[in-house]
């Protein structure tokens, strides 16, 4: 099935919504502290609560989507997100902020999971290319969202940020309902059978492990870099600018990976990517053990990791979900939940030893490199492996 430009834009919006909702309000923290008459800890807690919601909500939406269909499940999730966003515009108590941010996160998990499953189900013959095109845009959204948040907050106050998210949610609900109800085949298998099929598949688990540990290296770096640069004497502006090179590198990796996969195949390119990641991780580990006068000995090789991740994500996500064609939304939900959990552990490790951020960031990234190799070994063990099939139950048409 060919994908139209409008459909591509719709999928891209679904994929970016979670990151936009996460980061768009960050520049408004000071203004929110004033309006809520509270300290920075309570406002910052709203981000933590949101991430917790993102971690626990994705598998549930995946299971619901495979059982009840993409359109209705996606519309329900977007409706929950939209109502919570609207509520946030009227909140004036910290408990309301925290509760509604958690609900908002649960709702936004639906598009975060279902867009991936839609690609696998509806565009299977072009899924690799679609993932490779959309994922660099997803990487760009955390860089652009705070800038949009600054503009809105300066013009109309911080509540306009959540009004904007409400409007975006309404537009996406309308676009989702306008999709109609396409005839898609789903399985009447039990939740237990679906989960068991996923966790016993070496292909699925191996590719998810690669995705999660590569992401964890990114989170470890993002957690450690501000403290490393502060210890080296860089100011806040320099710290902010330092995140631009790896964003560009990630997008370049996605573009180059897409071109190279079409020419050489994903298996060959995946091996080269893992090699590049490993070389860069070793350089970072070595550099992190020395007293530095500049951030570039760490930043430069990390840009190579960003290139590797930009090319790697579409390959391993496509492989993982393509191996679970009977329950792709459940597979996407479990994949994303594991990614967030493992990435959060890497971030927590660096944060817990922030006084030694330079050294511990290098160690965390090298541990992630080990996880990447384990995932590759697991995914390619005893190949080829059949597509995951939770049961031999009847295939029915989605209502």
Predicted local distance difference test score (pLDDT) of residue 393: 35
Q: Is the Cβ–Cβ distance between 66 and 330 less than 8 Å?
A: yes
What is the per-residue pLDDT across 254-290, written as a single tens digit (0 to 9) for each?
889 989 998 998 899 999 999 999 999 999 999 999 9
195 vs 269: which has the higher pLDDT: 269
Cα 113 from Cα 138, distance rounded (Å): 13
Largest CA distance in the chain: 64
Band (pLDDT 50/70/90 cuts) for residue 385 is very low
Predicted local distance difference test score (pLDDT) of residue 107: 94
Q: Is the peptide bond before 309 cis (omega within 30 degrees of 0)?
A: no
Cα 357 from Cα 228, distance rounded (Å): 6
Band (pLDDT 50/70/90 cuts) for residue 48 is confident
> What 3-state DSSP class applies to 395?
strand
Mean pLDDT of 73-102: 93
Share of the chain above pLDDT 90, in %: 35
Band (pLDDT 50/70/90 cuts) for residue 300 is very high
Task: Among 94-98, 120-124, 347-351, name the one with the lowest average pLDDT.
Answer: 120-124
Q: Is the Cβ–Cβ distance between 377 and 171 less than 8 Å?
A: no
| Strand spans (E) along 143-295 | 185-187
Residue 194 CB-half CA count within 13 A: 26
Predicted local distance difference test score (pLDDT) of residue 236: 65
Backbone angles phi, psi at 103, to 5 degrees: -65, -40
Q: Is the pLDDT of residue 36 over 70?
A: yes
Predicted local distance difference test score (pLDDT) of residue 396: 35
What is the per-residue pLDDT across 352-363, written as a single tens digit (0 to 9) for each?
887 888 999 999
Helices and strands: H and E segment counts in the chain: 15, 2
Q: Is the Cβ–Cβ distance between 291 and 231 less than 8 Å?
A: no
Q: Is the pLDDT of residue 395 over 50?
A: no
Average pLDDT value over all residues in the chain: 84
DSSP for 136-169, written as a single string: HHHHHHHHHHHHHHHHHHHHH-THHHHHHHHHHH
Give me 389's structure tokens: 């099939």
Q: Which residues pair with 172 in a beta bridge?
A: none
Q: Is the pLDDT of residue 375 over 60?
A: yes
DSSP for 207-245, written as a single string: HHHHHHHHHHHHHHHHHHHHHHHHHTT--HHHHHHTHHH
Predicted local distance difference test score (pLDDT) of residue 193: 78
Share of the chain above pLDDT 70, in %: 91
Task: Among 64-78, 159-173, 289-303, name the one with the lowest average pLDDT.
Answer: 64-78
171 vs 179: which has the higher pLDDT: 171
Band (pLDDT 50/70/90 cuts) for residue 168 is very high
């Amino acid at each position: 099935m060919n994908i139209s430009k409008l459909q591509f834009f719709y999928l891209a919006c679904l994929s970016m919504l979670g990151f936009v909702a996460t980061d768009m309000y960050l520049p408004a923290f000071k203004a929110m502290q004033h309006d809520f008459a509270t300290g920075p800890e309570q406002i910052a807690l709203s981000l933590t609560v949101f991430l917790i919601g993102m971690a626990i909500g994705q598998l549930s939406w995946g299971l619901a989507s495979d059982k009840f269909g993409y359109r209705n499940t996606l519309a329900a999730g977007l409706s929950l997100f939209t109502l919570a966003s609207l509520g946030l515009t009227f909140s004036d108590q910290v408990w309301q902020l925290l509760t509604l941010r958690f609900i908002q996160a649960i709702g936004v998990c639906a598009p975060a999971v279902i867009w991936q499953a839609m690609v696998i189900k509806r565009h299977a013959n072009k899924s690799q290319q679609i993932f490779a095109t959309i994922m660099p845009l997803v990487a760009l959204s955390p860089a652009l969202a705070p800038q949009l948040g600054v503009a809105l907050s300066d013009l109309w106050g911080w509540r306009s940020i959540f009004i904007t998210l409400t409007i975006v949610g309404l537009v996406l609900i309308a676009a989702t309902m306008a999709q109609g109800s396409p005839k898609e085949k789903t399985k009447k298998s039990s939740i237990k059978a679906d989960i068991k099929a996923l966790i016993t598949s070496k292909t699925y688990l191996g590719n998810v492990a690669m995705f999660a540990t590569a992401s964890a290296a990114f989170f470890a770096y993002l957690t450690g870099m501000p403290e490393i640069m502060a210890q080296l004497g860089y100011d806040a502006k320099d710290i902010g600018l330092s995140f631009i090179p790896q964003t560009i590198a990630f997008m370049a990796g996605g573009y180059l990976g897409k071109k190279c996969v079409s020419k050489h195949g994903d298996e060959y390119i995946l091996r080269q990517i893992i090699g590049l990641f490993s070389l860069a991780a070793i350089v970072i580990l070595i550099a992190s053990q020395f007293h530095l006068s500049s951030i570039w000995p760490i930043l430069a090789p990390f840009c190579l990791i960003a290139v590797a991740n930009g090319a790697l994500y579409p390959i391993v996500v496509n492989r993982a979900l393509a191996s679970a064609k009977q329950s792709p939304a459940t597979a996407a939900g479990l994949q994303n939940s594991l990614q967030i959990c493992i990435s959060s552990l890497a971030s927590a490790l660096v944060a817990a030893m922030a006084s030694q951020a330079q050294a511990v960031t290098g160690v965390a990234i090298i541990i992630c490199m080990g996880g990447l190799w384990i995932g590759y070994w697991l995914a390619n063990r005893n190949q080829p492996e059949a597509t995951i099939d939770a049961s031999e139950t009847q295939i029915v048409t989605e209502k």
